[in-house]
Amino acid sequence: MQYFSLKDKVVSIVLKNKYPIMLVLGVLICLWPLSLFLYIPKWDNVNGYLPYRYFISDYLWNGHLPLWNPFQRLGYPGYADLQSGIWSPIVWVIMLFGKYTMNSLIVELLSCYVLAGLAMYQLSNYLFKDKKTSLILGFTYALSGFMVGSSQLMVFLIAVTWFPWCVYALLQFFKTFKLKYQLLSAVFMALFITGASPAYTIILAYIVVGMFVYQFFIQKKEQGNYIKILVGGSTILFVLVLLLAPYIVSFLDFSPYFNRVDKLVYDGFLFANPFTPISYVSFLLPQAVIAQSDWFNITDLTLRNGYFGFIPLLGFISALTSKITRFKIILIICILLSLLLAAGDETFVFEFLYNLPGFGIFRHPSIFRAFTIFCALLLVGNELKPIFNQGIEKRYKITFFSTLSLVLIAGFWAFSKTSFSEVSQLISNILIYQEISDSTLSTHILLNVIILVGLVVLVLTLKKVFKLSWFVSFLFFCFLDLGIQTNLSIPTTVVYNFSNKSLSEYFNELPNDISQNDLEKPMSYFNDTQGLKSVNGIWQNVATFNKTISSVGVNPMRFKSFDEAKEDGRLDEALSHSIMYFTDSVLKTEDVQIGYNKFSARIENGSSQDEKFVLNQNYHHLWSVTLGGKKLEIQPFNGLTMEVLIPANSFGKIIFKYKSNKIVYTFIISLLCYVLIIVFLMFKKLKKC
């Protein structure tokens, strides 16, 4: 019998998984400001997703369900926030290690990049049966212009991360009809939905339905497979509903009050941030779209970049000139459709699909460019594999010289408009992490051209001198290309120039208890500016971190009544009062307390008639109230907050509680379902071994 030492086993595992390991290390190296925890993520990540998750973890670590968040906009059901990650298993795992802080955010953000790369690697290896091709496609996908350019929108990245996993599992199911892949499909879709922006959930639903319809079409000669597809699809849907049970119930709890359930009006707000044809320059010269130029102003700085690497771009162009297959036709159609949708109102397609269920609820058409990148990379796969095994064909060389000529022309034009000294200044600004570039478009283009041409010369020279294979040469080029482009964009779209260490100290100093200070003051006083602990990088939702009630806050999960009251003046009237008050100002409240999912006070109505008592929080039907243990009825007050009638000549402690009985049971169902699936998959794995 042959024995292997632990060292031998480790070496064997590393060698067996060398390409995925290289992929992960490459991604983390290119994102070193994050992976070394030096700087902090920026914008929506810090102002939105971080405080939402911090609220959840703080409640849980204090032994309470994160139901009602009183720290934003007169309160809202935090567990129903679809972008908070509360029902995401990834967030669950992170929160096991403590409250969700800036370090937690960095870990979750990095997980998006790493898992996205591994997802594309897995899918590509399934489709092309070539690990070398899969490594390059996975690395490119992880550091594509979407992932780097839209880094501040983590809920977008989460969707892009799990999408290839969903496609991979579904393709395996359609091929084998095995229960294993039915369960994996449900799990990956659940991970997608519970972490991603709801906009992507709607898009995923259409894509999955389209994949099933396509399978029915291509398998029409195999009548027996129809039943397998229907049964398997039903199993996926059933398991998915179980996994999403708390997600679904929490949304249903809030949907009657949500301000974004109805379609947006077909106007400018809906079309905000399209991926217009002018932004196509980012496919070749990504530095152009972060320059100071009126050409790109129609789209937000973080939604313009569609880069997926110079080598893959050559492969994409070359693929368009090679033999046409059904696989290519499908991908080309998907690329064209995603580009048309990404353009928003620039084409008729978006207006046509606006009438479909779900469309018109979300904005930012540029999000569709993620699917352009995804499909383009799959199209590239069939081009790279032959190169690594047979060498470069003539048409690929023609594509290379034609594209490089275009790059040089752009470089000459840019040089006529700028100078090397301005390029030098741009580089200096990047090195000091200047957030928004003040350099011109021509300066950015010239820098991009210099880098690209320099890389071509460097890699071709190294290949000739050291006799490198095309795979090693391409891999080295992609690593330098994506790595440099990522780091050029990092100060603008990925991180603030703020030390992560200072944020760690900030979180250590935050209070563990809910603030009970100044509760006699009007709600207008609680507006994120009243002497709360703050720090560079955290400028919004400060009250959430300080656990202080607030009349302001940034969150897309808003009450429709709150927004309407803000418009017609009812909100101003509400904010002129304290958190709990009698409408008859003669009557007073004492010992006002804010608890977890509850409010309480001692009150006395000495008059001979019933008096209105108001809780200055948004009305929701799941609130209940008792006075001295006796239940009272809650009604909306002024169409915004909550009121109860305090009986004449009564006194005692009044307690408002928010409770959702279904949440606990649905969470148990969801958790148990995840556990059973993991056990089943592990059993199948061990049995196979």
Per-residue pLDDT reduced to its tens digit, 65-83: 999 999 999 999 999 999 9
Kindly state the tokens that stand for 155. Answer: 């809920």
What confidence score (pLDDT) does residue 689 get?
Answer: 66
- Reduced to 3 states, what is the DSSP secondary structure of residue 506? helix
pTM equals 0.97
Collect all residues with Cβ–Cβ distance below 8 Å to 36 and sequence separation of at least 6. none
Q: Is 442 in contact with 417 (CB distance < 8 Å)?
A: yes
Q: How far apart are CA 154 and CA 34, in angstroms?
A: 14
Q: 């006083």: which residue's tokens?
A: 525
Closest CA to 80 of 170, 163, 198, 181: 198
* Distinct helix (H) and strand (E) counts, the chain: 27, 13
Q: Quickly list DSSP for 368-434.
A: GHHHHHHHHHHHHHHHHHHHHHH---HHHHHHHHHHHHHHHHHHHHHHHHS-HHHHHHHHHHHHTT-
Kindly state the tokens that stand for 176. Answer: 């084998």
Q: Which helix (H) or strand (E) holds 180?
A: helix 179-195
| Span 200-245, pLDDT tens digits | 999 999 999 999 999 998 887 777 899 999 999 999 999 999 999 9
- The one-letter amino acid code at 46 reads V
Could you give the dihedral angle defined by the CA atoms of residues 27, 32, 37 and 38, in that order, rounded to the nearest 10 degrees?
-160
- Cβ burial of 465 (10 Å; 0-12, 13-18, 19+) is exposed
Q: Is 544 in contact with 51 (CB distance < 8 Å)?
A: yes
What confidence score (pLDDT) does residue 393 get?
Answer: 86
Q: How far apart are CA 585 and CA 433, in angstroms?
A: 55
**Domain limits, the chain:** 574-658
Q: How far apart are CA 293 and CA 271, in angstroms?
A: 20
Q: How far apart are CA 432 and CA 496, in angstroms?
A: 11
Q: How far apart are CA 638 and CA 628, in angstroms?
A: 26
Q: Which helix (H) or strand (E) holds 103?
A: helix 102-128
Q: Quickly list DSSP for 315-339.
A: HHHHHTTS---HHHHHHHHHHHHHH
Please state whether beta strands 39-41 and 495-499 pair in parallel, antiparallel, or not at all (unpaired).
antiparallel
Q: How far apart are CA 191 and CA 164, in angstroms?
A: 12
Of the candidate CATH numbers 1.10.1740, 2.60.40, 1.10.3470, 1.25.40, the domain formed by 574-658 belongs to 2.60.40
Q: Which residues of the chain have pLDDT under 70?
A: 1-4, 689
Q: Is 393 in contact with 384 (CB distance < 8 Å)?
A: no
Q: Is 603 in contact with 646 (CB distance < 8 Å)?
A: yes
- Cβ burial of 426 (10 Å; 0-12, 13-18, 19+) is buried
Phi-psi region of 507 (alpha: psi -120 to 50; beta: other; left: phi over 0): alpha
- Reduced to 3 states, what is the DSSP secondary structure of residue 561? helix
Q: How far apart are CA 505 and CA 88, in angstroms?
A: 27
Contacts of the segment 537-542: beta carbons below 8 A, 24+ positions apart: 537/40, 537/42, 537/46, 537/496, 537/498, 537/503, 538/46, 538/47, 538/50, 538/503, 538/506, 539/47, 540/47, 540/48, 540/51, 541/47, 541/48, 541/51, 541/71, 541/72
Q: Quickly list DSSP for 221-258.
A: T-HHHHHHHHHHHHHHHHHHHHHTHHHHHHHHHHTTTB
What confidence score (pLDDT) does residue 412 get?
Answer: 97
Give the CB-side neighbour count of residue 639, counting CA atoms within 13 A: 13
Question: What is the CB neighbour count within 10 angstroms for residue 110?
Answer: 18
Rg (alpha carbons) of the chain, rounded to whole number: 28
Collect all residues with Cβ–Cβ distance below 8 Å to 324 and sequence separation of at least 6. none
What confidence score (pLDDT) does residue 1 get?
Answer: 45
Q: How far apart are CA 6 and CA 278, in angstroms?
A: 56
Collect all residues with Cβ–Cβ distance below 8 Å to 95 and sequence separation of at least 6. 53, 56, 57, 60, 61, 104
